[in-house]
RNA sequence: GCCCAUGUGGCGGAAUUGGUAGACGCAGCAGACUCAAAAUCUGCCAUUCGCAAGGGUGUGAAGGUUCGAUUCCUUUCGUGGGCACCA
């Protein structure tokens, strides 16, 4: 009987579904285990082979735990709000809800084909109103809470209000509440004044923040929609703009997020990344007086005095080495301190910085800055320190200003060098003048009262002095900032907030969900608001009620006359911050999750997902969990007990390049010959380019040392085409081989990112890409040359890169079991690797070989073609090397299959193979080393096949081991063998160590660390006996050359090393 | 620029705590079976010198620690991912 995987998989998938075998109950006598995958965004491209990598791993582990007797929750759902669907809607007019629905159906069908053990009854979708009702509800909890610094936890804000009403700001003052007030004052404040103060304390709050603003598109852009300072779509300028936004006060949780890391099982690198993101540092804020000095004459005078400048530093010990100050260009204080003479330069520089994207500011190695004309006064020695502004200092961190110590800080050093600022050396010989040295081990020099102190000791001394003089104070700082929580977009959760007279009024819980209204267009609203702003009827509440009055009573009892809905929506991470809770109780209409359910399932025991979420999603969901815990809504404050990071499967992306030449240049240079010369690995290649035809562009690829030259006919003039004149597009390229010498480049598809270059001409278009075939000027097909016309690179799979690979084809061709095992066999789950299908045959062969252990003659060369049913019942192993018997002879000669499988007792050797495999598979599965587990299965099957072992006692246990990895074939063979029950609930075989006990061991013998021979020794041998035996060995004698060994190292069960 | 990861045959990878580098699979080569193909089976397969026995070299590179290093340390180069230039 052949291994008909298609039929087997289809049949069992149907049977499993019909029998509801994956349904999970919230009540069970078994211990619970919760395995969670990071749920996918249902992209239009469908599932690609990178998705299942983690899903297969979690599925294997879930099934393994089930066999081990656990009640396992292993759900799946969809992170179905997000920008791509909205972008697609903009382009095609299709509603995101429609396309999302369609995409989810595709995803589910694809997932089911791979045979995952999901309980689909528990599916969640973040864009489902039944789900986002509770996202909005939790948002309101955040809004209605503040962080009590004494209790170190989230607390309902009514408590704060009560306290304000009773005792003013006395008990609950915080740095965020800028002024203090008495109870009387509080009660006398207007509603607006009160709300403004409260807004500064809420965990979800609104304030002004900077966004990437694109005037031409009338919209706010995400960082990755901005390329080279212009919008990705259209190439329009992008500037920073202040707009009202919502934030989550995650910074209040910084310490607990740090402390919580100690309690969870994440990889060290993951914890490190989160720690770095949170970026706790201890230092001081120090205040410097600022003066101006007009540089009008030799006898320069200090003219004006300004408000002081406060800097944050972690190295107060270096305060005597401060040679200049740098202020972030965004800071308002700049206007105040800038001198008349420097004003123009400063304004210009500020404008320049405003035009720079964050990405640019990051990638730029160029040093820029501008002197303000102001000087700060060192409080210790009165030294005048020039105050500069530069984009390398960020407004959002610390005070937005630094004291620069060039001898100790690399960036400060480069800045000083670039602008010729004299450098003070305070660390003696530790500073070479060539580069900065950030040591803490130097003895301080030129440092006033700190002279002679070791730097790390001086930190405390300086801090004390600073506090003593009242010029500053100790300060703990976090680099993490509060999380932006609003997006000016459509396809997200609407905020359950109404604005009235500048006061945010939350909806009542009964009014949730606030459903996302239908829109006709997905373009931005006025003033950069989201598309929701265009729906007047929805936005303006209060006008539509019969009496013209909106009558929501807020918790504060405000009677609203008129209001305007918040038109932003929540970001992608809103829904994903708590979805693991909803799976526990997915259909609850009254609560986000029944407390009984969340207590039963408790934390996620194993969470599998990619490292790209290291700091975003993981920190947000950890924070939400802590808030829910603080408010008494769940019983634990870390969501994920263990995190396993799956590596990325990368795909090969190919590019074509679009060459853009300035139209004016071409028009005025009609003499240009249409030749493009370029050099690839030193070789010059020419392609003749026609122009003059409309719509001209050529697609070529980028390569190293690659340069285009347009030349005039007489070679007297040439035009170099520099890199910025290219536009590179992801593309799908096929080389069609027509003959060995000729291959034709065919572009199947390419991503046109619509660059708008109004003053450019695109050279050589479709006329010369006839039907996807590239022709040169004479109309000849260009063949071999095209190989280097494309560039390819391995990168993260995504639809927009056109490098995705779909699992369906492979599942159809080889079956789900093969596909599952192959993805695991590729390598460790944690490492990223390029996608390649060439090893899949080997895994498929393995499953067929396994199948033959049960269903075929072991050596059988031709039985797969013998269809007789009597054969199936009577086949058996023939002798190795013996010619295959003809079907007719077979039954009379050999034992029946059932007898052979059931009747014999397994030999010691066979049991040894089995138990070695049990041990290996169990260990490997436990440590998520699925690739080595697959290879252990292969070894086991190879060995059993060599022994011609087809005994039930051995095989049925092997099947159970295999079930998590290849459930379909395991279930099929299990039923052939045993005929009762499902293997999914079989009992995991116990490992018997006694079967593997050996009496001797073959030791490698090295001489001076180099392996020379082997010695088989008894297990209980001691050092002395070993030395004797080793010295007797003739190979050892040969290498000793008559000398005595210096030492003989014997490590029991490991090795022997003779040192000469 | 910063943070994290990673680098082993032609390829994917193995070596679990510092102890025989290259398990398992792919590809390749040789052979068996076959009219032939497919399927299956057997053998070889890091590199170099050698007929062989047996040596030399070898885990991105250079140093170091150790009886012994793919594994630990320092420096350095390449690649992938992330980023908010974090003082």
Q: What is the value of ipTM here, to two decimals?
A: 0.94
Q: For residue A1032, is pLDDT > 60?
A: yes
Q: What is the mean pLDDT of residues A752-773?
A: 28
What are the tens digits of pLDDT across the range A566-590?
A: 999 999 889 999 999 999 999 999 9
**Whether the Cβ atoms of residue A405 and residue A446 lie closer than 8 Å to each other:** no
CA dihedral A665, A666, A669, A671 (to 10 degrees): 160
Provide the token pair at A607: 């969470």
Identify the residue whose Cα has the smallest distance to the C1' of B27.
A838
What are the tens digits of pLDDT across the range A689-731?
A: 333 322 233 333 332 233 344 433 334 444 444 433 445 556 6
pLDDT at A247: 93
Q: For residue A961, is pLDDT > 50?
A: yes
Confidence of residue A684 (pLDDT cuts 50, 70, 90): very low
Find which nucleotide's C1' atom is closest to A361's CA: B85
Q: pTM for the whole thing? A: 0.83
pLDDT at A657: 53
pLDDT at A844: 94
Q: What is the mean pLDDT of residues A307-326?
A: 89
pLDDT at A491: 92
Q: For residue A609, is pLDDT > 80?
A: yes
Q: Mean pLDDT highest for which of A208-212, A592-596, A709-713? A: A592-596
**Whether the Cβ atoms of residue A672 and residue A628 lie closer than 8 Å to each other:** no
**Whether the Cβ atoms of residue A538 and residue A565 lie closer than 8 Å to each other:** yes
DSSP result, A739-796: SSS-EEEEEEEE-------TTEEE-S-GGGEETTEEB-TTSPBP-GGGGGG-EEEEEE
Helix (H, G, I), strand (E, B) or coil at A244: strand
> Which residues of A in 832-871 have their CB below 7 Å from strand B's atoms?
832-834, 836, 838-839, 841-843, 845-846, 848-849, 859-862, 864-865
Selection from A463, A273, A462, A477 nearest residue A394 by Cα: A477
pLDDT at A831: 86
Helix (H, G, I), strand (E, B) or coil at A446: coil
Quote the CA–CA distance of A791 and A731 in Å, as a whole number: 10
Which residues are within 8 A (CB) of A299 and not within 5 positions of it... i.e. 6 or more apart? none
Q: Which residues pair with A770 in a beta bridge?
A: A773
Quote the CA–CA distance of A680 and A659 in Å, as a whole number: 17
Find which nucleotide's C1' atom is closest to A250's CA: B84
Quote the CA–CA distance of A621 and A614 in Å, as a whole number: 11
Q: For residue A892, is pLDDT > 60?
A: no
Quote the CA–CA distance of A762 and A660 in Å, as a whole number: 5
Q: Tell me how many degrees the CA angle A199-A200-A206 measures, rounded to the nearest 5.
A: 55
Q: For residue A671, is pLDDT > 70?
A: no
Quote the CA–CA distance of A315 and A40 in Å, as a whole number: 44
Quote the CA–CA distance of A828 and A835 in Å, as a whole number: 14
Number of neighbours of residue A89 by Cβ within 10 angstroms: 22
Number of neighbours of residue A420 by Cβ within 10 angstroms: 6
Quote the CA–CA distance of A296 and A423 in Å, as a whole number: 25
Q: Which of A162-176, A307-321, A351-365 has the lowest mean pLDDT?
A: A351-365
Q: Which of A158-167, A403-412, A918-927 has the lowest mean pLDDT?
A: A403-412
Q: What angle do helix axes A807-814 and A816-825 make, rounded to 10 degrees?
A: 120
CA of A613 to C1' of B15 (A): 31
Q: Which residues pair with A703 in a beta bridge?
A: none
Q: What angle do helix axes A840-855 and A952-962 make, rounded to 10 degrees?
A: 150
Q: Using the CB atom, is residue A1011 less than 7 Å from strand B?
A: yes
Provide the token pair at A558: 């405000």
Q: Which of A82-91, A181-190, A327-336, A716-725 has the lowest mean pLDDT?
A: A716-725
Q: Using the CB atom, is residue A2 less than 7 Å from strand B?
A: no
Phi, psi of A290 (to 5 degrees): -125, 135
Nucleotides of B under 7 A from a protein CB: 1-6, 11-16, 19-21, 23-27, 33, 38-42, 55-56, 67-69, 79-87
H-helix or E-strand spanning residue A50: none
Confidence of residue A46 (pLDDT cuts 50, 70, 90): confident
Number of neighbours of residue A889 by Cβ within 10 angstroms: 10
Q: Which residues pair with A845 in a beta bridge?
A: none
What are the tens digits of pLDDT across the range A228-251?
A: 667 777 667 788 788 889 999 999
Fill in the DSSP letter of residue A900. H
Q: Mean pLDDT highest for which of A41-55, A82-96, A616-630, A877-891? A: A616-630
pLDDT at A919: 94
> Which residues of A in 404-443 have their CB below 7 Å from strand B's atoms?
409-412
CA of A1013 to C1' of B74 (A): 35
Q: Tell me how many degrees the CA angle A804-A810-A815 measures, rounded to the nearest 5.
A: 145
pLDDT at A719: 46
**Whether the Cβ atoms of residue A904 and residue A896 lie closer than 8 Å to each other:** no
Q: Using the CB atom, is residue A449 less than 7 Å from strand B?
A: no
CA of A780 to C1' of B46 (A): 46
Fill in the DSSP letter of residue A640. B
Q: What is the mean pLDDT of residues A386-392?
A: 88
Q: What is the mean pLDDT of residues A408-413?
A: 84
Which residues are within 8 A (CB) of A1050 and not within 5 positions of it... i.e. 6 or more apart? A1023, A1026, A1027, A1056
Confidence of residue A862 (pLDDT cuts 50, 70, 90): very low
Q: Which of A152-156, A734-738, A942-946 has the lowest mean pLDDT?
A: A734-738
**Whether the Cβ atoms of residue A296 and residue A328 lie closer than 8 Å to each other:** no
pLDDT at A729: 59
> Which residues of A in 223-242 have their CB below 7 Å from strand B's atoms?
223
Using left for φ > 0, alpha for ψ between -120 and 50, and beta otherwise, residue A70 falls in beta
CA of A269 to C1' of B4 (A): 6
More confident residue, A542 or A111: A111
Q: For residue A88, is pLDDT > 80?
A: yes
Quote the CA–CA distance of A412 and A400 in Å, as a whole number: 15
Selection from A837, A787, A835 nearest residue A811 by Cα: A837
Q: Using the CB atom, is residue A1002 less than 7 Å from strand B?
A: yes
Q: Using the CB atom, is residue A291 less than 7 Å from strand B?
A: no
Q: What angle do helix axes A129-143 and A617-630 make, rounded to 10 degrees?
A: 70
What are the tens digits of pLDDT across the range A496-506?
A: 999 988 889 89
Helices (H) and strands (E) in chain A, counts: 33, 40
Q: For residue A790, is pLDDT > 60?
A: no
Q: Which of A209-223, A891-905, A1000-1014, A1039-1053 has the lowest mean pLDDT?
A: A891-905
Q: Which of A136-150, A682-696, A1000-1014 has the lowest mean pLDDT?
A: A682-696
Instruction: Give Cα A523 distance to the centre of its chain.
Output: 29
CA of A1053 to C1' of B66 (A): 20
Find which nucleotide's C1' atom is closest to A864's CA: B39
pLDDT at A766: 21
Percent of chain A exceeding pLDDT 90 equals 34
Quote the CA–CA distance of A507 and A141 in Å, as a whole number: 12
Selection from A992, A936, A987, A993 nearest residue A965 by Cα: A936
Provide the token pair at A565: 């809905």
Find which nucleotide's C1' atom is closest to A1055's CA: B19
Quote the CA–CA distance of A882 and A878 in Å, as a whole number: 7
What are the tens digits of pLDDT across the range A328-357?
A: 888 888 888 888 888 888 888 888 887 776
pLDDT at A999: 79
CA of A110 to C1' of B37 (A): 35
Confidence of residue A649 (pLDDT cuts 50, 70, 90): confident
A173-179's contacts with Cβ under 8 Å and 24+ in sequence apart are A174/A149, A174/A201, A176/A200, A176/A201, A177/A201
Q: For residue A934, is pLDDT > 90?
A: yes
Provide the token pair at A416: 């000083």
H-helix or E-strand spanning residue A477: strand A472-478
Mean pLDDT of chain A: 78
What are the tens digits of pLDDT across the range A93-142?
A: 889 999 999 999 999 999 999 999 999 999 999 999 999 999 999 999 99
Q: Using the CB atom, is residue A942 less than 7 Å from strand B?
A: yes
Provide the token pair at A310: 């406060």
**How many angstroms separate the first and last alpha carbons of chain A?**
62
Integer Rg of chain A from CA: 36
Q: Using the CB atom, is residue A476 less than 7 Å from strand B?
A: no
More confident residue, A786 or A808: A808
Percent of chain A exceeding pLDDT 70 equals 75
pLDDT at A902: 47
C-alpha distances (whole Å) from A1033 to each of A462, A688, A721, A1012, A1055 are: 70, 76, 74, 11, 15
Q: Kindly tell me the burial class for residue A909, based on how many C-beta atoms sit within 10 Å of its own C-beta (0-12, 13-18, 19 or more).
A: exposed
More confident residue, A935 or A91: A935
Q: For residue A15, is pLDDT > 70?
A: yes
pLDDT at A528: 82
Confidence of residue A172 (pLDDT cuts 50, 70, 90): confident
């Amino acid at each position: 009987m052949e291994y008909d995987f298609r039929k087997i998989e289809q049949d069992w998938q149907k049977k499993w579904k019909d029998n509801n075998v994956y349904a999970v109950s919230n009540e069970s006598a078994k211990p619970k285990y919760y395995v969670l995958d990071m749920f996918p965004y249902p992209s239009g491209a469908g599932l690609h082979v990178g998705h299942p990598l983690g899903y297969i791993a979690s599925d294997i582990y879930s099934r393994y735990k089930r066999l081990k007797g656990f009640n396992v929750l292993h759900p799946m759902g969809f992170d179905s709000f997000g920008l791509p669907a909205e972008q697609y809607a903009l382009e095609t007019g299709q509603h995101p809800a429609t396309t999302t629905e369609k995409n989810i159906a595709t995803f589910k069908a694809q997932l089911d084909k791979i045979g995952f053990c999901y309980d689909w009854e528990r599916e969640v979708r973040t864009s489902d109103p039944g789900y986002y009702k509770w996202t909005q509800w939790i948002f309101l909890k955040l809004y209605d809470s503040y962080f009590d610094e004494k209790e170190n936890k989230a607390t309902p804000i009514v408590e704060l209000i009560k306290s304000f009403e009773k005792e003013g700001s006395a008990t609950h003052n915080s740095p965020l509440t800028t002024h203090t007030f008495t109870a009387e004052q509080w009660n006398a404040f207007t509603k607006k004044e009160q709300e403004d103060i409260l807004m500064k304390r809420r965990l979800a709050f609104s304030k002004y923040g900077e966004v990437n603003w694109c005037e031409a598109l009338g919209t706010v852009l995400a960082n990755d929609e901005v390329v080279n300072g212009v919008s990705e779509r259209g190439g329009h300028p992008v500037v920073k703009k202040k707009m009202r936004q919502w934030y989550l006060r995650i910074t209040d949780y910084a310490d607990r997020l740090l402390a919580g890391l100690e309690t969870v099982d994440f990889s060290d690198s993951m914890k490190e990344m989160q720690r770095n993101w949170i970026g706790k540092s201890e230092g001081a804020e120090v205040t410097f007086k600022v003066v101006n000095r007009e540089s009008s004459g030799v006898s320069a005078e200090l003219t004006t005095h300004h408000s002081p400048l406060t800097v944050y530093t972690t190295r107060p010990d270096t305060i005597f080495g401060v040679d200049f100050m740098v202020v972030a260009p965004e800071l308002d204080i700049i206007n105040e301190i800038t001198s008349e003479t420097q004003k123009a330069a400063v304004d210009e520089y500020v404008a320049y910085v405003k035009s720079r994207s964050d990405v640019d500011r990051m990638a730029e190695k160029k040093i820029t800055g501008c002197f303000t004309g102001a000087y700060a006064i060192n409080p210790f020695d009165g030294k005048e320190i020039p105050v500069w502004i530069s984009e390398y200092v960020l407004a959002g961190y610390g005070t937005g200003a630094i004291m620069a110590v060039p001898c100790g800080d690399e960036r400060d050093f480069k800045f000083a060098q670039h602008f010729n600022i004299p450098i003070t050396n305070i660390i003696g010989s530790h500073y070479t003048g060539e580069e900065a040295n950030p040591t803490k081990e130097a003895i301080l020099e030129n440092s006033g009262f700190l002279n002679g102190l070791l730097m790390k000791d001086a930190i405390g001394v300086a801090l004390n002095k600073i506090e003593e003089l009242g010029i500053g104070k100790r300060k703990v700082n976090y680099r993490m900032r509060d999380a932006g929580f609003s997006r000016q977009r459509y396809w997200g959760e609407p905020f359950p907030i109404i604005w009235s007279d500048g006061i945010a009024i939350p909806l009542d819980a009964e009014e949730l969900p606030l459903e996302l209204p239908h829109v006709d267009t997905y373009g931005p609203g006025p003033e950069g608001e989201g598309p929701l702003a265009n729906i007047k009827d929805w936005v303006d509440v209060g006008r539509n009620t019969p009496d013209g009055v909106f009558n929501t009573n807020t918790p504060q009892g405000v009677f609203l006359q008129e209001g305007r809905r918040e038109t932003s929506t929540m970001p992608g991470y809103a829904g994903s911050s708590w979805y693991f809770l909803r799976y526990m109780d997915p259909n609850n209409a009254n609560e986000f999750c029944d407390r009984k359910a969340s207590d039963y399932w408790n934390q996620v025991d194993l969470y599998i997902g990619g490292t790209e979420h290291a700091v975003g999603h993981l920190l947000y969901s950890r924070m939400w969990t802590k808030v829910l815990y603080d408010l008494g809504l769940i019983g634990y404050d870390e969501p994920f007990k263990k995190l396993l990071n799956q590596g990325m499967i990368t795909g090969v992306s190919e590019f074509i390049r679009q060459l853009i030449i300035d139209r004016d240049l071409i028009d005025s240079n009609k003499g240009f010959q249409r030749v493009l010369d370029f050099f690839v690995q030193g070789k010059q290649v020419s392609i003749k380019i026609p122009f003059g035809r409309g719509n001209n562009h050529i697609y070529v690829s980028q390569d190293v040392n690659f340069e285009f030259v347009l030349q005039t006919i007489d070679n007297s003039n040439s035009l170099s085409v520099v890199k910025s004149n290219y536009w590179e597009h992801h593309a799908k390229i096929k080389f069609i081989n027509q003959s060995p010498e000729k291959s034709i480049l065919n572009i199947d598809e390419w991503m046109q990112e619509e660059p708008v270059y109004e003053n450019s001409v695109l050279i050589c278009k479709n006329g010369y890409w006839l039907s996807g075939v590239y022709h040169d000027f004479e109309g000849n097909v260009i063949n071999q040359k095209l190989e280097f016309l494309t560039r390819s690179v391995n990168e993260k799979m995504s639809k927009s890169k056109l490098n995705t690979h779909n699992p369906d084809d492979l599942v159809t061709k080889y079956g789900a079991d093969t596909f599952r095992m192959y993805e695991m066999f590729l390598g460790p789950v944690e490492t990223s690797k390029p996608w390649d299908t060439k090893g899949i045959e080997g895994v498929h062969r393995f499953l067929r070989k396994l199948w033959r252990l049960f269903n075929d003659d072991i050596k059988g060369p031709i039985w797969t073609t013998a269809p007789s049913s009597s054969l199936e019942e009577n086949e058996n192993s023939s002798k190795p090397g013996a010619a295959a018997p003809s079907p007719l002879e077979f039954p009379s000669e050999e034992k029946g299959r059932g007898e052979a499988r059931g009747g014999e007792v397994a030999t010691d050797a066979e049991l040894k193979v089995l138990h070695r495999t049990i041990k290996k598979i169990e260990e490997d599965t436990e440590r998520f080393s699925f690739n080595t587990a697959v290879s252990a299965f292969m070894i086991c099957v190879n060995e059993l096949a060599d022994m011609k072992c087809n005994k039930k006692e051995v095989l049925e246990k092997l099947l159970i081991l295999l079930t998590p990895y290849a459930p379909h074939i395991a279930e099929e063979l299990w039923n052939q063998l045993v005929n009762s029950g499902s293997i999914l609930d079989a009992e995991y075989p116990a490992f018997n160590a006694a079967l593997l006990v050996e009496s001797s061991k073959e030791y490698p013998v090295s001489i001076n660390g180099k392996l020379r021979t082997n010695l088989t020794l008894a297990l209980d041998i001691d050092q002395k006996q070993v030395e004797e035996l080793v010295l007797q060995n003739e190979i050892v004698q040969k290498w000793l050359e008559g000398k005595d060994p210096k030492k003989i190292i014997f490590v029991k069960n490991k090795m022997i090393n003779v040192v000469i």
